[in-house]
A and B are shown apart, each in its own frame.
Chain A
Amino acid sequence: MNIVVCIKQVPDSAAKVAVQDGQVTWGEAPLVMNPWDEYAVETALTVQEDHGGDVTVVSIGKEGVEEALKIGLAMGSNNAILISDPALEAADSQAVARVLAAVIQKIGDVDIVFFGKQAIDGDMGVTAAQTARVLGWPILSLASSVETSSDGIRVERTVEEGRQVVEGKLPAVVSVVKDIGEPRYPSFMGIRKANRATIPVWTLGDLGIEEPISKVHWPELQNPPVQEIANEIIPGDSPEEIANTLADKILGEKVL
């Protein structure tokens, strides 16, 4: 089974993200692998344990993105590829999808491509589907469990109404949610291997594609409005009385 996992480097989830002079900043906070993508790597490694084959982690970005790829290697992936090209700096999700599709085609004979359900920075959650569209492959999104056979894939999707079981043919693109299983930690052996690895860097030229045109732009970024929060302690002689007063207040404020 030849597996590719597409990952993104994002500011740590604990970072305080803010807009300063029209730019997004996250202070001194470190950049990490998008937490959802860790689940995708975990799923890929589990499928590999059952079926053999190679797991390749792929990411787009500047040189520093190697750090996120190294985490993928340290978790147990066999290969990593960094796509770096100045032309991709402001790429939107469909432009990214075109590049990822080209990478997957260049790697060749790929059976499954895994994504995390979304990236915690842009929160678009569409790159997996867009990549599948460019490849002409089925998309099985928001999977909470994955079973594969030699030519097919069966996933369970957790949806509001319950659970769906969806089957598709390989090759396919799959995006995963948290229920898929806790991502493993990097192993010490993996850490050693990752730090010895030379990660190949591909440009658009290497992929043989033109600069993809972004169709979505972010003309303006704003911090959320500062909210005035006032706390009020509700007195009362019994929990019941306090709860009743609270309920009256909530109804009075028309919150409910």
Chain B
Amino acid sequence: MDFNLTNEHQMVQGMVRDFAQKEIAPIIKEFDRKQEMAPFVLPRMAELGILGICLPVRYGGQGMDYIALGLACEELEAVDSTLRVVMSVHIGLNSLGLFQWATEDQKERFLVPQAKGDKISGFGLTEPGAGSDVAAMRSTAQRDGDDYVINGEKMWISLATKAHHVLWFARTNPEAKDPHDGLSAFLVELDRAGITRGDIHGKLGVRAGSTGWISCQDVRVSHLNRIGEEGEGFKIAMSCLDNGRYTVAAGATGLIRACLDESIKYAKERPAFGRQISKLQLIQQKIAHMVQSYDAARLLYLQAGWMKNQGMRNSRQTSLAKWFATDASFEAASQAIQIHGAYGYSDEYNVERYLRNSKGAVIYEGTSEIHQLVQAGYALGYRQDAPLRNELPPYNEQTWREN
């Protein structure tokens, strides 16, 4: 067993860290306050190749592995969650879904421009009335000749106003005995007639990002935009979530690290009772818990990343990594504020932003409650992973790097 990162991984980590620390950290507070995404973020991430990091070169990506994706997410969220959210939806939930399920023709048309960062992509599963209960979705896609006509509304969609493509889930068969089997997936270009969208303001966190709604009214898409077969929508959504959750887990790990780093720095600066507060045992206890959370979260996401590289099914391990890391990041951020005292309660320091940002990930991509049901289900034998028609391809250095 080798726990070392390769040189290549370390260089990827260093490069993404430099980008986030040098270019985003100095301006993030301003955009968080304005509740806007800094306009240069997406073009810059595209230019640097970050938006296609773990996709094969022949599909416009950078040829790195799934661990590199996780490391990048950790570095990005150590500066701000909104950067990692981009990775979660654009790569985890959408592009890797296309990589797993799309036809060659669809990969050429949709995945290549996405991996190059020319097109930004999002994921349209959640609806105003359907979150954890996916099968309750009301969005429909009705076949009409060679087209489908899509109607419905998606809510809490990351990059809603920034994306060019969205992976849209809709009901194609209202008669299906199990409502899960009546869903299908479509790659919808967001410049089509009948689409309206907007951002939601007044969120607790991820304020320097775009989160919004997308509405489809009689939107026509070709059957060639359907990803997978009719009725495979739920399976596709779940495998997309296996990838999205991985990026969330890795990102939350970065958030714990950021809380730890800021807490250590502040605890060594701040005196109370005649010494630095870092010398006080109850402060040390909080630091120790953050160290424990960081190491455990990191091992869990790297395990999931390694399994992805091997082509092993990792739904359980990814769910565990996501549940643990996001809960732990919320707790770490809360304790980081406690260490900072009243200063931590103001936006003079970063830790209040970390707390606000951390809460979202405890809710999206499977609430912590859903993940507990998933884990219990596996442990009790109530839940098994059925083989999928298309599995996420295992990482292969050679084929990933061929033109």
Contacts and interface: CB of A to CB of B under 8 A. Distances in A.
A187 to B, nearest CB: 6
| Interface size of B as a range | 10 to 19
Majority secondary structure, B binding face: helix
A188 B18 CA distance: 14
Interface stretch (A88-96, A169-177, A190-198, A203-211): A190-198
Contact of B62 (A70, A74, A188): A188
**Most chain A beta-carbon neighbours within 10 Å: one of B11, B19, B401:** B11
B299 interface: no
Contacts of B401: 192
Given A185-B48, A188-B12, A67 B7 contact: yes
A186 interface: yes
Interface centre among A187, A188, A189, A195 (most CB of B within 10 A): A188
B62 A185 contact: no
Given A67-B7, A70-B7, A185-B19, A191 B12 contact: yes
B49 A194 contact: no
Q: How large is the interface on A (under 10, 10 to 19, 20 to 34, 35 or more residues)?
A: 10 to 19
Contacts of A140: none
A153 B6 CA distance: 41
B256 interface: no
Contacts of A189: 49, 62-63
Contact of A191 (B8, B18, B19): B8
Nearest to B50: A188
B64 interface: yes
A194 B7 CA distance: 10
Contacts of A5: none
A55 B141 CA distance: 56
24 contacts: A67-B7, A70-B7, A70-B11, A71-B11, A74-B11, A74-B15, A185-B18, A185-B19, A185-B48, A186-B11, A186-B14, A186-B15, A187-B49, A188-B12, A188-B15, A188-B49, A189-B49, A191-B11, A192-B8, A192-B63, A192-B64, A194-B11, A195-B8, A195-B11
Interface of A: 67, 70-71, 74, 185-189, 191-192, 194-195
